[in-house]
Chain A
């Protein structure tokens, strides 16, 4: 027995059918589950040239291989499809309890094709799977829809259902919309919500109670017990959060080095990702003023985003499935300024940065409201923040007039105007309509392309390539460009990948500027980053596990115990390589030119910044680094297309002949 159910659910909304199909074991051996299974299926089944918002596109929901085995930090679920934002591979993932719900219905993944004529939702309880009328829920925001579905279905289901749904942004086909669960937690990137909206699929409701398989649950449990004991004992002195601005200044000046990532769990447990905001502003990691500013422009902002200040609003801490860290929380917003909602999820760093320092917005209260507004609408805060930043810069430079912005004074840090614009984007009203499709479309309509920060159509996550050139390579070499979750220099220093992978270079103590050079070592590092992240996504793992390093979160040991295999790290890294190559082949099949993904000039350091930790930094060898990364993968170094011998070496030619 392995951890895989061996079955997938294939739903066709065109005719309202749902069919269970079996997947041969060799597919799981090759790509695991999660994003790997999705890459294999979507590459095979989405025809070249398919309209991302048409019936031929397939929307996939998948749990990872380790989900339900007892392995810690493996509760992520991944949505994938052809992205309407980039025209190529799209995916987004999220925590919560939806991943095990997929497996408890007896499936590793659900694939939805076709378009329904009327709003529907998919219901599955492990015995039946049916497409039901959702007209009563259409028009509700994600939280309202989830609550309404629970009110209607909880009394008639044997087990409380889990719901993943779109908000109004997905219904209105916003190309920067995502899929939500658990009151607005969102798988946000790649425009996956628009694809769900185009299918008129409001929700997927899962209420199965089947056991989730595992080869050796005792061995998995022993690994989790060891990890859990350490995590539970970790703590930091309180009041630490106020020093992060200072800490960031120190980090900005320090060299790159190998470090113990396991201890970063202190931060995640205490604050979640939001602790990164003051660190990022002062270290050069976080973008300021639409990626063109420096810490001088953001003077006074770090104290506004002190993580201790945010924690004081916390009324409840929560954990994802199988997670002993518990980085999530609910915040009480009653009595706060702009309080249209009484509470919200603790915001992630990405949200705080994209609506705080990126816009020079000093109002934490406004960002908390925007967090809730966008979570409920189901709109990606990273893309939305970058788009608002573009609008402000255009307005400040006279490219947009007050008439065009519906009377909004879009100046840096104008909190009221920022809030009003976000509401317009969510409602697709007036000026907000064009912005609801992201910064690329908005700049094509209004001009100001030089201020539009996107890579291949997708807005970048809130980390600066000038601070971390490895990240710059991943921003453009990643088949879903602009994602910040594939690899970073600091993470590489913390992962100790060289201890499980024979070809992964050891992290070394070196000046950061060395990372701007095109070297064989750097190419292998970025390849190792991408392979391990894909492996993690196939396993359903959390990036916190990745950051902890291989000695703490023992992914290889977990997989061997859960599947009954005896493979080494090199074998598993090849699985990651196969998943990444399949995703790249997906783009090639869909006519997306990998070489067309480019870092915005501003992120390359043209013009360079005049002060701060990134003063004078440029990335002249960036394109050469991308070519070397492709070459390390066995892809053509000029075009990024996987070479025939690589496809054969990874067995992808045989794998794509396997059918279900």
Chain B
């Protein structure tokens, strides 16, 4: 399955394609996605790791098309 991973700074993006999508085996979890981009679970929890905009435990099973993201302040307004 393909999932989009938007890792925080300092992570390894080499497993991601140009649009930040990556292949994960069926049944893969958030923890597996983090491993793919070399993001530590502690850092992920601090940055409120989420799936499709919902804060998620590392054990959450991912599905095709899911987006794994982290909190980052956005400037605007």
Contact = CB atoms under 8 A, between A and B. Distances in A.
A260 B69 contact: yes
Nearest to A552: B53
Given A254-B9, A506-B20, A261 B74 contact: yes
Contacts, number: 104
B58 interface: no
Given A251-B73, A552-B53, 20 more contacts: A233-B55, A259-B6, A259-B72, A260-B50, A262-B67, A263-B48, A264-B72, A266-B71, A276-B75, A279-B73, A349-B76, A490-B74, A490-B75, A491-B76, A506-B19, A509-B13, A543-B76, A547-B76, A551-B53, A552-B52
Interface string B11-45: 00100001110000000000000000000000000
B76 A488 contact: yes
Nearest to A261: B74
A273 B77 contact: yes
Given A258-B6, A263-B70, A490 B19 contact: no
Contacts of A543: 76
A264 B53 contact: no
A350 interface: yes
A559 interface: no
A429 interface: no
B64 interface: no
Contacts of B52: 230, 262, 551-552
7 closest residue pairs by CB, A with B: A260-B69, A273-B77, A262-B53, A264-B74, A349-B77, A506-B19, A230-B53
A285 interface: yes
Contacts of A257: 9
Contacts of A498: 19
A262 B69 contact: yes
Interface in A500-548: 506-509, 543, 547-548
B37 to A, nearest CB: 11
13 contacts: A230-B53, A260-B69, A260-B72, A263-B48, A263-B69, A280-B75, A285-B75, A349-B76, A350-B77, A491-B76, A494-B74, A508-B18, A509-B13
A603 interface: no
Given A255-B9, A279-B75, A509-B13, A260 B70 contact: yes
Contacts of B9: 254-255, 257, 509
B75 A263 contact: no
A153 to B, nearest CB: 33
B74 A491 contact: yes
Contacts of B18: 506, 508
A230 B75 contact: no
Scoring B50, B53, B69, B70 by chain A CB atoms within 10 A of each residue's CB, the highest score goes to B53
Scoring A231, A266, A498 by chain B CB atoms within 10 A of each residue's CB, the highest score goes to A266
Contacts of B75: 251, 276, 279-280, 283, 285, 463, 488, 490
Contacts of B55: 233-234
Contact of A260 (B67, B76, B77): B67
B53 A265 contact: yes
Interface residues of A, number: 49
Scoring B18, B69, B73 by chain A CB atoms within 10 A of each residue's CB, the highest score goes to B73
A154 interface: no
Contacts of A548: 53
Contacts of B54: 230, 233
Contacts of B77: 272-274, 276, 348-350
Contacts of B69: 259-260, 262-263
B54 to A, nearest CB: 5
A499 interface: yes
B59 to A, nearest CB: 18
Nearest to B53: A262
Contacts of B4: 496, 499, 551
B75 to A, nearest CB: 5
Contacts of A247: 73
A355 interface: no
Nearest to B19: A506
B42 to A, nearest CB: 16
Interface in A227-269: 230-231, 233-234, 244, 247, 251, 254-255, 257-267
Contacts of A285: 75
Interface in A268-296: 272-276, 279-280, 283, 285
Interface in A467-492: 488, 490-491
Contacts of A490: 74-76
Contacts of B68: 260
B6 A273 contact: no
Nearest to B21: A499
A44 to B, nearest CB: 33
Contacts of B50: 260, 262-263
A496 B69 CA distance: 12
Given A230-B53, A548-B53, A552-B53, A499 B19 contact: yes
B50 to A, nearest CB: 6
Interface string A551-568: 110000000000000000
Contacts of B67: 260, 262, 496, 551
B73 A260 contact: no
A267 B76 CA distance: 11
Interface string A298-342: 000000000000000000000000000000000000000000000
A489 to B, nearest CB: 10
Contacts of A499: 4, 19
Contacts of A265: 53
Contacts of A506: 18-20
Given A496-B4, A551-B52, A264 B73 contact: yes
Contacts of B71: 260, 263, 266
